[in-house]
Structure 1
């Protein structure tokens, strides 16, 4: 599904902006322009908090305040045994007024690697079609089946393009379990917006060339001490289990640390573990919060789960955090055997 056909748009009404303030994530936001107020106090949003915020922020053409927009980011691996797709799951049930973000369509489709970051023009076009304004508060969420999986990647993408009001629902599985409203069917038509073409924050992304130099210097005396966290399963990291993509060698980069996604989530609810528990997990793996961190995975999706967990845990805020967009799919195809940059261990 192309980005331009993500939804049907109705006629456009001009919108005036009373406030252009864009607070940082984690700070309460109070808008009084339309005689009502709402706040989203944290990066991870609980279902009860989102439900209350949506009730206080009922859609209105008269309001000039930034809105709260639920954004479904459901996505499944190509080898999903049930052959599920994100939009099919969206149609079976979604938060009322939610829009659907197609992770495969809003991407650099010219790249040989899946769902790489889109161009600024492609991103802006998708946001316009989704009816999202630059100052809207977007709450990204996953499928009830997976709990937390691809939503952090979409949230990270929005932040990489400078959209400041971004949160993650923790999570839609709990939203459904706690009995909050759910709608079925196609995404409702929305008004297209005039979302401006943004600049990408290059400081959030790592290229293959830089990643290769970091791996070559790993564990050498005098290296800058960049930490690489790998979200794939321990078996794939060790090289004893195969990659889901045929012909791709498993293993890991020199100096990388295995941080499988399931370790960061509650096994029953699939929500992120509490911040204190996340800090304990990262500390137990030797991750230093004062040193730079790069997150990686199979294709750049679940690497963002690690990044979101680091945000919640307060890790790497000063030293900096980045994501290797191409991740293992690019790495295993581009490094040469003679480089000795794919390691395996028992």
Structure 2
């Protein structure tokens, strides 16, 4: 299964015993929307709802940080996701949160995971079938595992400021990156990690919400000053849209991509870290 699949492909695969479809929509608390209610009102048949809002480290003071492997495995088992599953993820979020779910599943040991190109918006626009209510699937064993190779810690990011061993790419808006716009989080400095580049996450999508592909996608990274043949770490405000750039970089052919999970919530909230303002 490719890492990005079409609505046509998914429609033809629905009902396969090893296929699992996941709605991973995460929305802002002040958006006026409810992701679970929207899922229950209409979802791709057979899809389960992955509650990213609560699939976090509840002991951390930072938003959206990774849960412990055991917690993640338990949640996946309860959703019917497990060893041997082919998993297709979609969302209906401006943050394109299917990418966060994709990254988490891969990090915690799932091997055959894809994102639905265009998400449920494209599925609906094509007039395809929807189901309502909740889907209940039989529990499936999910082996507890964690591969940190695609994860960067605060200490690693501090060391990288000095070494420059890895490129750093920030998915936030240009105004947030330059510091022109204040960070919305209390006691969080404006600006960006010194040496990092900026590629707002929406720049890797076409106007219809599908992913850019091929040369168009590579150009988005090149225009941001990124060499996809070299190691890259993505960051954002709280580790959500950073996953969009990570997925996009891999889709464009990059081999060494990681994500700084603490992102600017951690870096910008620490008065001791170096911070840069202005354009990259």
What's the TM-score once normalised by structure 1's chain length?
0.77
In the TM superposition, what is the alpha-carbon distance from 1:214 to its structure 2 partner?
Answer: 1.1
The superposition leaves residues 49-100 of structure 1 with CA deviations (integer Å, 9 ceiling, x where unpaired) of 1111115x2x5xxxxxxx11110000012332x2x23212211211111011
Q: 1:149 aligns with which of 82, 90, 96?
A: 96
CA distance in 2 between counterparts of 1:306 and 1:90 reads 25
CA distance in 2 between counterparts of 1:233 and 1:224 reads 23
2:238 aligns with 299
2:110 aligns with 163
Change (3 A) 1:313 1:229: same
CA distance in 2 between counterparts of 1:259 and 1:153 reads 17
CA distance in 1 between counterparts of 2:268 and 2:30 reads 19
1:272 aligns with 211
CA distance in 2 between counterparts of 1:166 and 1:283 reads 26
Query: Partner of 1:138: helix, strand, or coil?
Result: strand
**Unmatched 5+ stretches in structure 1:** 1-39, 60-66, 218-222
Structural mapping, 1:125-140, within 5 Å: 125-140=74-89
For the pair 1:250 / 2:190, whether they are aligned, the reply is: yes
How many residue pairs match? The answer is 278
For the pair 1:79 / 2:30, whether they are aligned, the reply is: yes
For the pair 1:183 / 2:123, whether they are aligned, the reply is: no
2:71 aligns with 122
Change (3 A) 1:275 1:335: farther
For the pair 1:326 / 2:277, whether they are aligned, the reply is: no
CA distance in 2 between counterparts of 1:206 and 1:133 reads 26
Q: 2:144 aligns with which of 197, 205, 226?
A: 197
In the TM superposition, what is the alpha-carbon distance from 1:335 to its structure 2 partner?
Answer: 4.2
| 1:238–1:251 Cα contact (<8 Å) kept | yes
Cα RMSD after superposing both structures: 1.5
CA distance in 2 between counterparts of 1:244 and 1:87 reads 25
Structure possessing the higher relative contact order (Cα contacts under 8 Å, 6 or more residues apart): 2
For the pair 1:111 / 2:47, whether they are aligned, the reply is: no
Query: Partner of 1:52: helix, strand, or coil?
Result: helix
The superposition leaves residues 161-188 of structure 1 with CA deviations (integer Å, 9 ceiling, x where unpaired) of 1210100001221111011111122x12
| 1:74–1:89 Cα contact (<8 Å) kept | no
CA distance in 1 between counterparts of 2:223 and 2:174 reads 16
Which consecutive aligned stretches of 4+ in structure 1 deviate over 4 angstroms post-superposition? none
Q: 2:201 aligns with which of 261, 278, 286?
A: 261
1:10 aligns with none
CA distance in 2 between counterparts of 1:251 and 1:142 reads 29
Query: Partner of 1:270: helix, strand, or coil?
Result: coil
What's the TM-score once normalised by structure 2's chain length?
0.95
| 1:124–1:197 Cα contact (<8 Å) kept | yes
In the TM superposition, what is the alpha-carbon distance from 1:224 to its structure 2 partner?
Answer: 4.7
